[in-house]
Amino acid sequence: MQRAELNALNARIESESAFIEKLLAEIGKIIIGQKYMVERLVIGLLCNSHILLEGVPGLAKTTSVQSLASAISTTFKRIQFTPDLLPADLIGTLIYNPQQGNFYVKKGPIFANIILADEINRAPAKVQSALLEAMQERQITISDQTFRLEDPFLVLATQNPIEQEGTYPLPEAQVDRFMFKLSVDYPSREEELQILRWNVQDKPEEIKPVIQAEDIIHLRSIVRQIYMDTKIENYIVDLVCASRRPADYGLPDYTDLIEYGASPRATISLAVAARAHAFMRHRGYVTPEDIHAIGKDVLRHRVIISYEAEAREISSEQIVQKIFETVEIP
């Protein structure tokens, strides 16, 4: 790309991404800290992809999603997954109308722009499959009728890492459908003090919409235009290939620690998410810093560790970190 073209693209991206600060500031009226999580939620929207969140209760996961939905003027539904949940409770079903003597479709809570699937690993496999099919196909079939889901459509699924009794862990093939797996951490001491003071207010501030759902759809086409050099493309492919054949990239000791490496879906997700991250930083081009910023979130759930790694207490997170430290940065 010529310098003049890149400068023009940069100027356009800077103009189109001006709303980002407004959006984050509006969400910041309710959410204290958790900037990492909120930014990833916005990236998920810009990439038209879904996110899996792992964190202990009380870290504002639900509130963050509600705030995001309010700030972009979209519909929001929270679904609490339980062992007795049925697919019909999620997608809807046919209801008999005795007055008219026919059946009509009663749509389920999945028909919204932003879905919070709370504790997805508590529902049985058939319910998880119904949700993941909706995520992939972006449509629902009830009896012989097919309904398209609204756009934008973002599923934010949460898992509780500390209570594993009575859960149905997601299979790796299903987890792979989430672009990000975020590990949500506790707030800092200063943020905790702010949270304490904020919660004694009589009337918290209300979030006002700063962007419409239609604007998000428009911005996706802008994000796809962000320039990515061939060196960055090769860097992404090297990172993913290093998770499959670590010995070829100077990590022979890690060959027996990795059962399965990242799939081609990881390559696509890294490229798309890096563009969205550059957009969040008001740039019209991708840098290695963008790859590093979102790399762990894309790869941590796609690198499957072996029994030997488990025995040595080596996590997929540590392996991904080592890959980023070893593969040469362009």
Q: Which domains does the chain have, with CATH numbers?
A: 3-200+209-218 (3.40.50.300), 227-326 (1.10.8.80)
The pLDDT of residue 152: 87
Whole-angstrom distance, CA of residue 33 vs CA of residue 55: 15
CB burial of 214-237 (b: ≥16 within 10 Å; e: otherwise) equals eebeebbebbeebbbeeebeebbe
Q: What is the C-alpha separation between 122 and 225, in angstroms, rounded?
A: 40
Indicate the pTM of the whole model: 0.89
CA distance 109 to 224: 30
CA angle 327, 299, 227 (to 5 degrees): 70
- Amino acid in the structure at residue 216: I
Q: Would you state the pLDDT for residue 319?
A: 95
| List of the chain residues with pLDDT < 50 | none
The Cα–Cα gap between 109 and 88 comes to 10
pLDDT the model gives residue 164: 62
- What pLDDT shows up at residue 165? 62
